[in-house]
Amino acid sequence: MPGSEAAGALNPAAEPGGDMLLPFAFEETLCRDVGTGLVPPSVHLWSHPGGVALGLRDSKLPRAAEAMAELEGKGYRTAVRHSGGAAVPLDAGVVNVSLLLHKSPGKLDFHDDFRLLASLITEAVAVSHPQAAAQIQAGEVAGSYCPGDFDLAIGGRKFCGIAQRRQSSAYFVHAFVIVSGSGLERGQLIRGFYDTAADGNDALAYPRVIPQTLAALGELGGPASAAVFAEGFRLALARRGVHLQSAGQLRQTAGYSLQYADPRVLEAAKVLRERYAR
């Protein structure tokens, strides 16, 4: 997305009701439209009121269905997502950020795009909290949920993880950013899921979550408000010369409109649910 010619659509911190698959289905649909040129490279920011998004491998653990039922009983929606990674809690204090980009012919290495999103998140934090941003480091945080090479942490405590999803002509790079609330409590939630889902089988491959390795940006000296982080992300893009259009502006200038309630999004959610359900 770098450069003054790039454009994007921004949906700041949308809260899509109860169905956790709707924002993922929205991105799946939007990504296809980016690939066909119907819409420019886009940015999607959203939060969910409360749920846990599982990775495909999580859903195949021996007592995953029971563990998911336990979460539902506690008021957490559950869904299996199609992007990479493992279980993560999603709530109003977690901002999900996705870059949806054209895929160049023959492109195989997506590490630069992980680095791009990591740097944008760091720059977003720096807008309001430069001292915290200066302490952000990238690299897998052992003991965190959904661990990966592009975890972002301050003082060894993870607040962000990054995954990606590819289509034939476009792809998106997605991050969850823990902005407010308790990282410890979220870690305990996911550890409890795995305790039930794995049924005590230490031979299985799943993250061994140590709740103390997680923290929210607000606990680490960074922004403690989703709105502040979202505005920081917008400014970080603008400083790179990216011209953003809101969804409303895009509808006026290009005649393009896509909402969570769009029939194409609802159909994509149905397909994801059927394809990735346990």
User: What does the pLDDT read at residue 9?
Assistant: 47
Token pair, residue 155, equals 């003082």
Residue 8 main-chain phi, psi, to 5 deg: -160, 170
User: What does the pLDDT read at residue 164?
Assistant: 86
- Please give the positions annotated as active site: 146
User: What does the pLDDT read at residue 106?
Assistant: 64
Question: Does some domain include residue 1?
Answer: no
User: What does the pLDDT read at residue 237?
Assistant: 95
* β-pairing verdict for 157-166 and 170-178: antiparallel
User: What does the pLDDT read at residue 111?
Assistant: 79
Q: How far apart are CA 140 and CA 123, in angstroms?
A: 20
Cross-sheet strand order for the sheet of 94-102: 42-46, 94-102, 170-178, 157-166, 152-154, 136-138
Question: Does some domain include residue 2?
Answer: no
Token pair, residue 188, equals 């305990």
**pLDDT tens sequence across 104-138:** 776 556 678 899 999 999 999 999 999 999 999 99
Q: How far apart are CA 43 and CA 276, in angstroms?
A: 25
Do residues 177 and 125 make contact, with C-beta atoms less than 8 angstroms apart?
no
Site of tokens 């760091």:
122
Instruction: Please state the length of the chain.
Output: 278
Question: Does some domain include residue 102?
Answer: yes
User: What does the pLDDT read at residue 19?
Assistant: 84
Total structural domains within the chain: 1
The residue segments making up the domain with residue 228 are 7-276
Host H or E run for residue 157 = strand 157-166
Helix axes 226-239, 111-128, angle to 10 degrees: 120
DSSP structure class, residue 180: S
Question: Does some domain include residue 81?
Answer: yes
Among 29, 57, 86, 85, which residue's Cα sits nearest to residue 272? 29
User: What does the pLDDT read at residue 7?
Assistant: 44
Question: Does some domain include residue 39?
Answer: yes
Question: Does some domain include residue 49?
Answer: yes
User: What does the pLDDT read at residue 227?
Assistant: 95
Residue 45 main-chain phi, psi, to 5 deg: -115, 130
Say which CATH number the domain at 169 has. 3.30.930.10
SS (H, E, C) 63-84: CHHHHHHHHHHCCCEEEECCCC
The ranges of the chain with pLDDT < 70 are 1-18, 84, 106-110, 277-278
Q: How far apart are CA 268 and CA 81, in angstroms?
A: 12
Question: Does some domain include residue 148?
Answer: yes
User: What does the pLDDT read at residue 14?
Assistant: 45
Cβ-proximal residues to 87 (8 Å cutoff; 6+ apart), any chain: 52, 53, 54, 55, 58, 145, 146, 190, 193, 194, 207
Do residues 117 and 173 make contact, with C-beta atoms less than 8 angstroms apart?
yes
